[in-house]
A and B are shown apart, each in its own frame.
Chain A
């Protein structure tokens, strides 16, 4: 006897099964491709890839010329997907004046689709997972190293080394000029699937320590050169009312313990310079390659322990802003610009831009400090941004794209891609490079000349600026651009720290295989979160001496040896 209601149950299960089977089967077949490179007419030549087909004097390969412009005889179209950083406009690069010009000149037309930062990760994953990925990915940090490797290994991205060697003279020149570049873009399997963008202004460190000189002068103190002096200065800031307003409302030292907007929290730990003073370069992953080429886990070293004890002492005596663990950059900026009650802070922007222009003369950089135990050291930083340009298997005639990106990166164009187009003097309609009044023959960036009645949000960008795959070398930069005021400040800051730079950049790009990465992700999350928890607790509540041994033991349980081993393997694979 069949029970009541079973019929309906069976029916629904059957229907569901049908659908599951149908769609599961669909999972195997390739999803329909997006409209991609479609030469609008058939190539004029009898089509094949062999060389030496001539058309108006230049060698051709199929529809493409091997040198010069236009790049292709018949116009072609490609589709690109990229990451749009917050606060950049326009969202479609094909609308910028620079790209319009380049596309006309090259006859290669590209439709860019820039996705806002907030939805980029999901969007990127979905396009790949559903098989509908673009002809190429574009824009700095569109893809992480690991994604580049994974996509490359699984055939979503193609190997472009051969094409680069053959068709990209500008880029090849740059590769020679920057010997570390190839190593950066090369994946674990030895192939090159991406280009990295960079703007080389000669900034080789990523953080500075800044102190309120006016307060020092008011108290008759000198800029501290070591951690003991820093302690004295901070105490004086707290007790002796250096801003002379009759109240002890000064915050001796403030910084961002962590940073990130919305949900993209990154633990940047802007107070790293304190650790540098103790001789250790603290990094977000707690892995550092010291000057002896050894891969070290920083958070169990003696230097780290001393530095942390020092921080705890400062916090306990009220010398550090109690809110450092939760404040965001907006609040810190407010304290610096509006409330003006901070004595020492750290900024990873290398210059004084967090301070109001009129107050900047009151601040100065603290040189690399020493500590009783450590030697002076400062972290060097690499400035390549990965994922700038990666061609997928969907692109037809990828050599055309290589020629295109190479064309965009001639000295002349790379400068304009980064700062705006060359315009005549007095141009103030968009970002641009206008002839410098002080240095004849060079240009300067005109963003200081925005007319007062134009809202900053209406200041239209004529070039990709922060969003381009731009390889701007120092040579090209120096050739065309007179140094910006802020660049001068940044250069000064970097000069302060240059004598002590570590050998290896603190943001060295380790390359892992997919299996290694899977293991690493868990180890890293557990270890890093545990250190963060413990470190922040020690800083705010003390207890480091008592708990140190148990802490190290726990880290061993969490697999810290294996963690270092993975990094060591990745490092030695490339550098040894």
Chain B
């Protein structure tokens, strides 16, 4: 199979051991065609430089006493003042605990669902069922947060909600789901899972559909059961994707959705529902302090980063897959 546009020198040309570095670079870059790879990635790099790296000087806001009436560079440098203030705040332990618990709950419980769902979906022979299920489970992703939380209030109301009516019919007292502190996390995570499982399963499903059917045939001939086929063919084929998704999720684990939390908060569930984001929002309502909120964001990022580095290393050892 020869490509007509083949520019490369015939294979087998290896850099000689006594080539200089410049030669090595040239060899790889030009003769082996690596410049093509650089070219492919170039537009994306330029995009990130302009729209992500250029604005990055704004991170300084966390270290300066910034007010919107003056440019960032003119704001007074205060170093770690805001970080200290936050860490010393009497609210900090509660915020940290709540944010941490919900994030990990969401991650640990929520992560397997799309994977399992995709695997199960891939198993069924009925094409119609696949199509129907996929379409239906895709839809929740589009429901706006306001309506979703509105429906939660409706369904879970202690006086008029269908869930409590059902519980009542089997003899259980009505539960104030949206009001009680101990239910907040469960409602939050479960509704989150409900909303995004179908959508997130798409990527795993895509990986599964690219498995060579020849492998299945070979396995059948070898007498493998369905479960064995899943274990030895399906799962390995989506492992790189699963690991990548997992690592990326760890990398943003503490970034709990503030808007969603605010919508679901009630005075009585504040002990479990007050997170970094909602707290910062409330402070900001009184005094729009960008510096404080940026500092808290950086703190969250720092923790996320550490978690990611650790998990990445573990993943490297266990699965040979990693982000870098």
Direct contact of A and B (CB under 8 A): yes
A residues at B contact (CB < 8 Å): 1-2, 7-8, 12, 15-16, 19-20, 22-24, 27-28, 121, 125, 128-129, 146-147, 150-151, 154-156, 257-258, 262-263, 265, 267, 321-323, 325-328, 331, 514, 517-518, 520-522, 524-526, 529, 532-533, 535-537, 540, 557-558
Complex alpha-carbon distance, A173 and B175, angstroms: 59
Is B73 touching A532 in the complex (CB atoms < 8 A)?
no
Residues of B within 8 A of A327 (CB): 153
| Contact indicator A129/B268 (Cβ below 8 Å) | no
3 shortest interchain CB distances as A-B pairs = A154-B69, A521-B287, A536-B267
- In whole angstroms, what is the CA distance A146 to B289 when docked? 12
Whether A258 contacts B267 in the complex (CB less than 8 A), given A28-B73, A151-B69, comes out as yes
A525/B283 contact (C-beta < 8 A), A27-B72, A125-B288, A154-B69 known = yes
Interchain CB contact under 8 A, A263 and B259? yes
Known: A23-B57, A265-B262, A532-B270; 14 extra A-B contacts, CB below 8 A, are A16-B49, A16-B54, A19-B49, A23-B55, A27-B74, A262-B263, A263-B259, A325-B268, A326-B153, A326-B266, A327-B153, A521-B283, A521-B289, A529-B279
A87 to chain B, nearest CB (A): 16
B286 touches A150 (CB 8 A): no
Bound: A4/B85 CA distance, A: 43
B69 engages A533 (CB within 8 Å):
no
Complex Cα distance, B263 from A265, in Å, reads: 9
Question: Which residues of chain B come closer than 8 Å to A12, judged between CB atoms?
Answer: 45, 49
- Chain A residues with CB under 8 Å of B89's CB are 522, 526
B25 touches A7 (CB 8 A): yes
Range for the number of chain B residues in contact with chain A:
35 or more
- Report the Cα distance A522→B85, complex, angstroms: 9
Query: Is the CB of B7 closer than 8 A to any CB of chain A?
Result: no
CA of A150 to CA of B55, assembled, Å: 25
For B85, the chain A residues whose CB sits under 8 A away are 522
Per-position 1/0 for B109-141, Cβ under 8 A of A = 000000000000000000000000000000000
Residue of B nearest to A540 (CB): B268
Residues of B contacting A2 with CB < 8 Å? 21
Query: Is B67 in contact with A154, judged by CB distance below 8 angstroms?
Result: yes
Residues of chain B with a CB closer than 8 A to A526's CB: 89-91
Cα separation A525 to B271 with both chains bound (whole Å): 14
Residue of B nearest to A131 (CB): B71
For A23, A262, A321, the residue with the greatest tally of chain B CB atoms inside 10 Å of its CB is: A23
User: Are B159 and A19 neighbours in the complex by a CB distance under 8 Å?
Assistant: no
* Residue among A2, A16, A267 with the highest chain B CB neighbour number at 10 A: A16
Assuming the contacts A262-B146, A326-B178, asked whether A19 and B289 have C-beta atoms less than 8 A apart, the reply is: no
20 pairs, CB–CB < 8 Å, chain A vs chain B:
A1-B21, A2-B21, A16-B49, A20-B54, A20-B56, A23-B54, A24-B72, A28-B73, A28-B74, A146-B287, A150-B67, A151-B69, A263-B263, A323-B157, A323-B176, A325-B268, A520-B287, A522-B85, A532-B270, A537-B268
**How many angstroms from the CA of A19 to the CA of B55 in the assembled complex?**
9
Closest CB in chain B relative to A135 CB, distance in Å:
17
A191 shortest CB reach to chain B, Å: 15
Chain B residues with CB under 8 Å of A525's CB are 91, 279, 282-283, 286
Residue of B nearest to A267 (CB): B267
